[in-house]
Structure 1
Amino acid sequence: MVSSGLGLPVLANPYPAFSELHEVHAGVYAHDLTGPAHERDGVDINGEILFRSPDFLAWAFAPRPRLGGTVSTNGGTSLAYADLGWTIGLTDRIFTDLSIGGAIHDGSLGGSSPRDNAYGCRVNFHETLSLGYRVAPTVSVMLSAEHMSNARLCKNNDGLTNLGIRLGYGF
């Protein structure tokens, strides 16, 4: 804390949580591209925030924690997730980005017909994989895939795979 000169304390950074914010991603996905069952086609909206890697994760190649969500615009399954992710530079502009974590979703657990997805568990694993291009030092475009399933930990495990394009903005 520093003084304002009037004897009143002034915070050097009034929003300390935002100083840990590292990047944001937003984009659109084609909904549920794989089977065995398949929800109806549609467009999903995706957004996520990425935080700076905390020091205690240095041993794991400094993954960045991320929080995000994918919202189905056609009544299909939507999800919210928390992941750890790594960005690996392939050239000065091209990179790959991957993450793994957990998701909670609003889809069917059992499926009412053979064509309905049955996710088995309300909380599942969540993974993403992206190939990106840095348009500018703080702006990137990524071809991205996300997958959610339970790794056969529950009776049903149809899974959900979305594919699309996202933009990234770094701070």
Structure 2
Amino acid sequence: MFKSKLTLAAAAACALVGLNAPAMAGDGPVDEVRLGIYDHNSSLFASRHETSNPDINAEILFKAPSWLEWMAQPRINLGANINTGNGTSIAYTGLTWDYNFTEAWFIEGSFGGAIHNGETDKQTASKLDLGCRVMFHENASLGYRVTANSSVMLTVDHMSNASLCSPNPGLTDIGIRYGYTF
């Protein structure tokens, strides 16, 4: 029951954010919205133990708050990776830092926490035993700004419990995202 409620809540949050983002942008708190597709539990990093159905990624980035200046002005993120099959879906939040190589090329890293609807006490044919419900979440992107407002990113997205509970197989996705900056 909790698993389907989490997936539904993550999907509803992404839809709400997507529909309200233009109204929140400009002088509002929203800096950027993103949408992407990920290879779920990618076999590029380990043997695939979950579904091969892709994840849909939706993320909103808020403008860097002045009270985080001491941390090199990260933006706060809020997002979800929603599996299109019966694999694990996640909702996450954290901090995102950017570094611009040129006006067009940039790299980015994020760190924070996530909650998932996967298994925590057994592995099934379609879901890993992730050990605990609340996890660490991080991702890294290589991006290219197509225009002043549009960018595309190659992203590696990872969730793990850092061995705070057992087991700790982690879940790693890789994919591409489109970002629109206001």
- TM-score, with length taken from structure 1: 0.86
The structural deviation recorded for 1:97 is: 1.1
Structure (1 or 2) with the larger CA radius of gyration:
1
Which of 161, 165, 169 lines up with 2:176 in the alignment? 165
Secondary structure in structure 2 of the residue aligned to 1:56: helix
Q: 1:27 aligns with which of 10, 13, 36?
A: 36
User: 1:78 matched to which residue of 2?
Assistant: 89
CA contact 1:37–1:158 (8 Å) conserved in 2: no
Across the aligned residues of Structure 1 and Structure 2, the Cα RMSD in angstroms comes to 2.1
> Any conservation in 1 of the 2:50–2:125 contact (CA below 8 Å)?
no
The match for 1:130 among 127, 132, 141 is 141
Matched, 1:143 2:154: yes
Match of 2:10 in 1: none
**Which shows bigger deviation, 107-116 or 80-89?**
107-116
Higher helix proportion: 2
Equivalent position amino acid for 2:77 in 1: R
CA positional deviation for 1:156: 1.0
Amino acid paired to 1:89:
N
Counterparts of 1:17-166 in structure 2, within 5 Å, are 19-33=28-42, 34-35=45-46, 38-112=49-123, 116-166=127-177
Distance 1:150 1:73 in 2: 23
Could you list the structure 1 runs, at least 4 aligned residues long, displaced by more than 3 angstroms after superposition: 14-18, 34-37, 112-116
Q: Does the Cα contact within 8 Å between 1:132 and 1:141 map onto a contact in 2?
A: yes
2 CA distance for matches of 1:136 and 1:17? 17
**C-alpha spacing 1:24/1:152, structure 2 compared with 1 (3 Å):** same
Q: Distance in 2 between matches of 1:45 and 1:115?
A: 17
Amino-acid identity (%): 46
> Aligned residue pairs: how many?
158
Gap runs ≥5 in structure 1: 1-13
**Is the 8 Å Cα contact of residues 114 and 137 (structure 2) preserved in structure 1?**
yes
Offset at 1:64?
0.2
2: distance between equivalents of 1:153 and 1:64?
A: 27
Q: CA offset at residue 118 of structure 1? A: 1.3
| Structure 2 unaligned blocks of 5 or more | 1-22
Q: Deviations over 1:12-64 (max 9, x none)?
A: xx969970100011110000014466112111100000001111100000000
